[in-house]
Amino acid sequence: MSEPEDDPLAGSTGYALRRAAMAMLGDLAERLTAIDCRISEASVLLLIAERKDVTATRIAHALEIKRTNMVPLLNRLESRGLVKKVPIDGKSQAVVLTPKGRRRGARALTITQQFEEDLIARIPREHRKHLLPALRALWL
Amino acid sequence: MSEPEDDPLAGSTGYALRRAAMAMLGDLAERLTAIDCRISEASVLLLIAERKDVTATRIAHALEIKRTNMVPLLNRLESRGLVKKVPIDGKSQAVVLTPKGRRRGARALTITQQFEEDLIARIPREHRKHLLPALRALWL
DNA sequence: TATTGTTATACTCTATAACTATA
DNA sequence: TATAGTTATAGAGTATAACAATA
């Protein structure tokens, strides 16, 4: 598409970070259309598959999504029969996978693992092991 | 905020890439409020400062923004007196900085250079030189 | 009083389709 | 016919304020 030398911002790490993230998210989003899931939806399926009695608030915290934005997200998953809400007490409710949700979550895992593998394969070998720790230093 | 061991996605490079980019963009956006600019607006100021006779289409291509989305972006810059449009021929028009736009662009450059410096300083020294080439391999 | 879940709302970024005018 | 600019519109993510019900 755009040649690097055409772009005075190409030498910027911040700019490269944004571009790489955008390209990566576009690729992943496209792969997830195979299971009719958005990235945020697949993230929830993967997250609650490994946990028990997870409330919407805990999911929101783990994925750094605002509590308020969990509502339409979970409603979409619930209306498609992928998750259901189970009361914990009068105030809290656990979000749990339905059998259909577990199958969908398993497919999401397959897709994201292949995606991750392909992503890493694109990184030149000598830089490969440095990327994750560098990114985590920027994020945490 | 969120502890890594709380998060089963923390081992994923794709996930870390998204999180790092989000954190970085949030930081930069906040710094740019000092000159009342969005990231996309500052990018345009920086881009056209170094070029002559740049059309909206060329800016869109260089920044990988859809042509159609340049319209409100440039309108905002124009209504604040930072850029103006100069006809090239009956069909094309150059987007050029006004004197006020040049001053704003200079401040944008100062902010983004300091930002870049701070960003790189956060990366552990042994990973530092690997980040940019790794990101560019993912993006290009 | 603090927390959980919710509604309403708005802003930003991104995206497609379709139109006008000019090269 | 292809390109430059534009309009209208929609989807997705993110954000704040405010409220009800419960711990």
The verdict on a CB contact (< 8 Å) between B122 and A138 is yes
The verdict on a CB contact (< 8 Å) between B25 and A2 is no
pLDDT single digits (tens) A42-82: 999 999 997 888 999 999 999 999 999 999 999 999 999 99
Most B-contacting residue of A2, A7, A127, A129 (CB-CB within 10 A), to test interface:
A127
A44 touches strand C (CB under 7 A): no
Looking at every residue in chain A, the average pLDDT score rounds to 92
pLDDT at B5: 43
Average pLDDT over residues B26-41: 94
Q: Which residues of A touch B8 (CB under 8 A)?
A: 46-47, 50
pLDDT at A7: 62
A91 touches strand D (CB under 7 A): yes
The fold of B9-118 is Arc Repressor Mutant, subunit A (1.10.10)
- For the cut 70, the answer to whether the pLDDT of residue A4 exceeds it is no
- pTM for the predicted model, two decimal places: 0.91
CA–CA gap between residue A85 and residue A77 (Å, rounded): 11
pLDDT single digits (tens) B74-86: 999 999 999 999 9
If DSSP states are collapsed to H, E and C, what string results for B46-87?
A: HHHHCCCCCEHHHHHHHHCCCHHHHHHHHHHHHHCCCEEEEE
B66 touches strand D (CB under 7 A): no
- For the cut 70, the answer to whether the pLDDT of residue A23 exceeds it is yes
The verdict on a CB contact (< 8 Å) between B133 and A124 is yes
A83 touches strand C (CB under 7 A): no
pLDDT at B58: 95
* pLDDT band, residue B7 (cuts 50/70/90): low
Share of chain B above pLDDT 90, in %: 87
Share of chain B above pLDDT 70, in %: 94
Q: A93, A86 in Cβ contact below 8 A?
A: yes
